[in-house]
C-alpha cells in the first residue's frame, strides 16, 4: 500500500495543530441542537478510529493464524484476500449499525410526518 506522505514528514507535523484545524466552509448541521451535531461529529470520528483498530487486530490475528511473523512491516504489507475482505466489510457494517442505531432512530423519528392539527385537536377532545 502506497503511503500518502513521507515518513520523514510525519515526525515534523504538529498533530495537535492539525487536529484543531478548521475545515473550509460551514459545518454541516443535522440536528436542531448544535451540541448534538458536535456529539455526532465526535462519535463518527471515534467510530472511524475503532474501525481501523479492529482491522489491524484482524490483521494481527490472521498473521498469527498463518504462522507469519507479526511485525509492523508485516501488518502494513498485509492485504486481505477476497473472503477476508468480505468478512471485514460485514463486521464493519454490523458494528456501525449497532453504534449508530440511536442516531438512526432519531433520524427516523424526525422523518415521520407529524399529524395534522385537526387530528391532534380531535384526539385531545376525545380524551
Whether this prediction's pTM lies above 0.95 is answered by no
CA distance 91 to 85: 10
CB contact at 8 A, 31 and 37: yes
Q: What is the mean pLDDT of residues 85-110?
A: 88
Q: What is the pLDDT of residues 39-74, one digit of tens each?
A: 888 988 999 999 999 999 999 999 999 999 999 999
**Domain limits, the chain:** 33-125
When the pLDDT of each residue in the chain is averaged and rounded to a whole number, the result is 83
Q: What is the mean pLDDT of residues 4-33?
A: 68
Query: Torsion over CA of 55, 60, 66 and 72, rounded to 10 degrees?
Result: 110
| Percent above pLDDT 70 for the chain | 89
Query: Is the pLDDT confidence value at 103 over 90?
Result: no
Amino acid at each position: 500500500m502506497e503511503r500518502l506522505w513521507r515518513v520523514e514528514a510525519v515526525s515534523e507535523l504538529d498533530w495537535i495543530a492539525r487536529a484543531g484545524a478548521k475545515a473550509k466552509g460551514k459545518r454541516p448541521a443535522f440536528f436542531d441542537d448544535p451540541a448534538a451535531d458536535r456529539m455526532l461529529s465526535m462519535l463518527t470520528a471515534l467510530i472511524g478510529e475503532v474501525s481501523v483498530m479492529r482491522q489491524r487486530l484482524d490483521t494481527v490475528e490472521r498473521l498469527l493464524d498463518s504462522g507469519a511473523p507479526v511485525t509492523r512491516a508485516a501488518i502494513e504489507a498485509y492485504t486481505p484476500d477476497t473472503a477476508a475482505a468480505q468478512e471485514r466489510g460485514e463486521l464493519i457494517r454490523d458494528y456501525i449499525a449497532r453504534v449508530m442505531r440511536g442516531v438512526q432512530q432519531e433520524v427516523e423519528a424526525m422523518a415521520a410526518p407529524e399529524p395534522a392539527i385537526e387530528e391532534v385537536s380531535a384526539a385531545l377532545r376525545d380524551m
